[in-house]
Amino acid sequence: MVALDLVRIILVEPAGPLNVGSVARVMKNMGLSRLVLVNPRCDRRSPQAYQMAVHGAEILEAAQVVGDLTTALQGCDRAIATAGRDCSLGLPLETPRVAFPWLLASPGETALIFGREDHGLTNQELNLAQRAVMIPAHPAYPSLNLAQAVGICAYELTQVLTRSVIPQTLPTAPLDHLEAYYQDLETLLLNIGYLRPHTAAARMAKIRHLHHRALPTPEELALLRGMIHQVRWAIQHQPRS
């Protein structure tokens, strides 16, 4: 399952070593190997983590530890975040079965992002992903344990390959290139007065969602960035009255 070698499982600020060890084990079960821990609140090399990892101990050893989610996503073309039923982001929540074929269709590296055990991902972190999924569960108690959520998603990833339902799609612009574009665009829109500082975050979230639905290719993103640079140049060189 070569496609799974390109998938990063990203845990944002995991607090429980038992959970981290269990995640490593289920990754091993399902053929996943790339674990990234963002600002972990526990020691991945603790005895409790190894106890739960069993034969997935090498995944714990090889796990990449980074300080923030933006760094964890560097080099990825596509990313899907997991969210709860009460997510207020405004981004449609899909099921893994609907969204994961798109993730595995990427020829480049991808990421599946999981939030904190107690309150998940922030809206700012959710904004870094192009799509968001929610695992269907009984409404009386829909909250899943972190390792359980990773296990279900890992299984659904393997089923995409088993069903051979990976669609043919165009390459998408890398997420770090998109992030640089969003920063340039926000700066420009603030300078010309389209955005106001107190509402910029909310408006930029909507602009991000628009681009994430469009899935610009690297060439299309270069076109958009060229437009920004030309507008900035024109502003700087306009005749002074």
CATH at residue 219: 1.10.8.590
From the list 115, 36, 123, the residue with the least C-alpha distance to 75 is 36
- Domain end: 139, 163, 187, which one? 163
Q: Are residues 138 and 221 in the same domain?
A: no
pLDDT tens string 51-99: 999 999 999 999 999 999 999 999 999 999 999 765 656 678 899 999 9
**Do residue 206 and residue 153 come from a single domain?**
no
First CA to last CA distance, the chain: 64
Q: How confident is the model at residue 32 (pLDDT cuts 50, 70, 90)?
A: very high
Rounded to the nearest 10 degrees, how much is the dihedral formed by the CA atoms of 184, 129, 107, 61? 110
pLDDT in tens, 87-139: 656 678 899 999 999 999 988 999 999 999 998 999 999 999 999 999 988 88
Is residue 168 assigned to a domain?
Answer: no
| Amino acid 86: pLDDT | 59
Q: Flag whether 85 is in a domain.
A: yes
pLDDT confidence bin for 171, thresholds 50/70/90? confident
**CATH number of the domain where residue 118 is located:** 3.40.1280.10
Radius of gyration of the chain measured on its C-alpha atoms:
19
- Domain that includes residue 196, residue range: 175-236
221 and 106 in a common domain: no
Q: At what angle do helices 218-236 and 175-191 cross, to 10 degrees?
A: 20
Q: The pTM is what?
A: 0.88
80/146 same-domain check = yes
